[in-house]
A = this chain, B = another copy of it.
Amino acid sequence: MEKLRTHIEQVTPLSDEEFDYIKTFFTLKKVRKNQFLIHDGDEIKHEYLVLQGIYKVFYVDNDGKEHILQFARENWWMSDYTAYFKQQASTMFIECLEEGEVLSLTLLGREKLAADLHKMEHFFRVKLTNGYIALQKRILLLLSSTPQQRYEEFSRLYPDLLQRIPKKYIAEFLGVSRETLSRLYSNGGK
Query: Could you tell me which A residues sit within 8 Å of B by CB distance?
Result: 59, 61, 65, 67, 69, 81-82, 85-86, 91, 114-115, 118, 121-122, 124-125, 128-129, 131-133, 135-140, 142-145, 175
A-B contacts, 11 listed (Cβ < 8 Å): A67-B140, A69-B143, A85-B133, A91-B140, A114-B122, A118-B121, A121-B125, A125-B128, A128-B129, A128-B132, A138-B139
A59-B140, A122-B114 known; A132 vs B135 contact (CB < 8 Å): yes
Q: How many whole Å from A77's CB to the nearest CB in chain B?
A: 11
State which of B86, B125, B132, B142 has its C-beta within 8 Å of the C-beta of A139: B142
**Oligomeric state, in number of copies?**
2
State which of B91, B115, B142 has its C-beta within 8 Å of the C-beta of A143: B142
State which of B61, B121, B136, B144 has its C-beta within 8 Å of the C-beta of A81: B136
Task: Report how far A143 CA is from B122 CA in the complex, Å.
Answer: 32
Task: Report how far A137 CA is from B82 CA in the complex, Å.
Answer: 8
